Chain A
Amino acid sequence: MKCEEFEMMIAESLGSELAESDRPALEAHLAECPRCREELRAAEGLLLTMRSIPGPTGQEVFGGRPESIGSSDPRFQESSAWILRKSVPLLRYAAIILAAFGAGYFVRSTNVSMERDGVDHAATVDSIARKARPDPDGNEMRTFEAALSGAYRRNPGGSDLAKCMRALFPTSG
């Protein structure tokens, strides 16, 4: 028989799955074929050496914990921390840009809504100011409503927050 006909038997022998019925035939061939004998011997040595390479210990294979990726496993926590460290500057820039857009949108929407709803805000503010109770010294800006209406009249385009701040903490300017 030719060597090629014993290839499957050699493969089975290397995989420790050679049928007992095939063993005599293979051994007879190996006895008379130095090339196959040498190949089998070298391959067995190779596989034995491969098997001597240790795998991970139980502790290394996540200590048998069943948690999912990104959960309490320290290795994944470490990875998450690394990702977080790397992404903090990016997140900071994103937050600044978002805040700037948000502020712009807020100011714009306030002005737009005041223009759209058709309410005469100036008249409302004047009426509030008229109702405001003057203090004994004749100063009109004693109540919050009166202060707010004054701030609004001075700067009708400003945001509500800015008007409130000006009313609460008036400056000389």
Chain B
Amino acid sequence: MGDAAGLANESFEAYRRDVFAWAYRLLGNDHDADDVVQDVYLRWDQQCQVALPVHARGWLRRVTLNRAVDVHRRPGANSARLDSADHCDVRCDARRTSTTNLRQDLALDHAALRSDLATAMNELTDMQRSVLIAKVFDGLTFAGIATEHGLAVSTVKTHWLRAVRTLAAQLRDRWADEIRNPGGMSNLRPSSSRNVKMSHQRCV
């Protein structure tokens, strides 16, 4: 039993940074990401009592993304983000001259994008989420993803296409500006989230 726990801990160490990074991509703060890391570790430990997952990294990515989406759905997590958006007014006075405030606005844009993405990912299956994140954020090839998950390459491509289509349908309205003008984030256009947009409109 002790050996199994030691093995679980040791093997988890190899992936801990990845787990944190996957959670952080959707949640955007290290506190929530840490919560996810600990939850995933507990799941991993339980799983290792039975058997080590054959495709460990793929297993961990799926579990992490599921947990991150769950954490994002928590009422507290959402209200914290909205609070940060509502505080825009307080920062408005100095924002036009301060680089710091420009950075804060950009961070607010990113927070809104993360929130939209995490919400839209509710509509994806476990595997679609995992394939999407592996491709977009981890930069893996289809063959690499197939190996990590123990799937055929064609299956991975199908998951990928369905995930992209579903997200595009979900985010068509919310990300209309970004999709029409990809890469334009640095111009500090109003953010995607409706709440944040309203805050910015009050500011300008």
Mutual binders A and B: yes
Shortest Cβ gap from A113 to chain B (Å)? 36
Tell me if B167 counts as interface (CB < 8 A to partner A): yes
Tell me if B195 counts as interface (CB < 8 A to partner A): no
Closest to B172 in A: A42
Tell me which of B9-17, B47-55, B68-76 binds A. Answer: B9-17
Q: Which residues of A contact B167 (CB under 8 A)?
A: 46
A53-110: which have CB < 8 Å to B?
53-56, 60-62, 66, 68-69, 75, 79
Q: Which residues of A contact B110 (CB under 8 A)?
A: 52-54
Can you report 30 A-B residue pairs in the complex whose CB atoms are below 8 A from each other?
A: A8-B154, A10-B161, A11-B158, A11-B160, A12-B157, A15-B142, A42-B172, A43-B164, A43-B168, A45-B175, A45-B178, A45-B179, A46-B171, A47-B164, A48-B182, A48-B183, A50-B117, A53-B110, A53-B114, A53-B117, A55-B21, A55-B25, A56-B21, A56-B33, A60-B24, A61-B20, A61-B21, A69-B9, A69-B38, A69-B41
Tell me which of B84-92, B94-102, B122-130, B133-141 binds A. Answer: B133-141
Q: Cα distance A128–B137 when bound, in Å?
A: 85
Q: Cα distance A56–B114 when bound, in Å?
A: 13
Closest to B164 in A: A43
Contact present for B34 and A45 (CB under 8 Å): no
Q: Cα distance A10–B161 when bound, in Å?
A: 8
Question: Interface residue count for A (Cβ, 8 Å)?
Answer: 32
Q: Which residues of B contact A42 (CB under 8 A)?
A: 168, 172, 179
Q: Which residues of B contact A7 (CB under 8 A)?
A: 161
Q: Which residues of B contact A60 (CB under 8 A)?
A: 20, 24, 30
Q: Cα distance A103–B9 when bound, in Å?
A: 40
Tell me if A5 counts as interface (CB < 8 A to partner B): no
Contact present for B178 and A49 (CB under 8 Å): yes
Closest to B26 in A: A53
Contact present for B13 and A66 (CB under 8 Å): yes
Interface class of chain B by DSSP: helix
Contact present for B185 and A49 (CB under 8 Å): yes
Q: Which residues of B contact A115 (CB under 8 A)?
A: none
Q: Cα distance A66–B12 when bound, in Å?
A: 12
Contact present for A47 and B13 (CB under 8 Å): no
Q: Which residues of B contact A12 (CB under 8 A)?
A: 142, 157
Tell me if A39 counts as interface (CB < 8 A to partner B): yes
Shortest Cβ gap from A25 to chain B (Å)? 17
Q: Which residues of A contact B135 (CB under 8 A)?
A: 15
Tell me if A44 counts as interface (CB < 8 A to partner B): yes
Interface flags for A103-132 (1: CB within 8 Å of B; 0: not) read: 000000000000000000000000000000
Q: Cα distance A52–B164 when bound, in Å?
A: 16
Q: Which residues of B contact A48 (CB under 8 A)?
A: 178, 182-183
Tell me if A51 counts as interface (CB < 8 A to partner B): yes
Most B-side CB within 10 Å, residue of A53, A54, A56, A66: A53
Contact present for A56 and B157 (CB under 8 Å): no
Tell me if B202 counts as interface (CB < 8 A to partner A): no
Q: Cα distance A69–B5 when bound, in Å?
A: 12
Contact of B182 among A44, A54, A75 (CB under 8 A): A44
Q: Which 8 A-B pairs have the closest CB atoms?
A: A45-B179, A48-B182, A11-B161, A49-B178, A45-B182, A56-B24, A11-B157, A61-B17
B99-151: which have CB < 8 Å to A?
110, 113-114, 117, 135-137, 141-142
Q: Which residues of A contact B43 (CB under 8 A)?
A: none
Contact present for A43 and B17 (CB under 8 Å): no
Q: Cα distance A60–B168 when bound, in Å?
A: 30
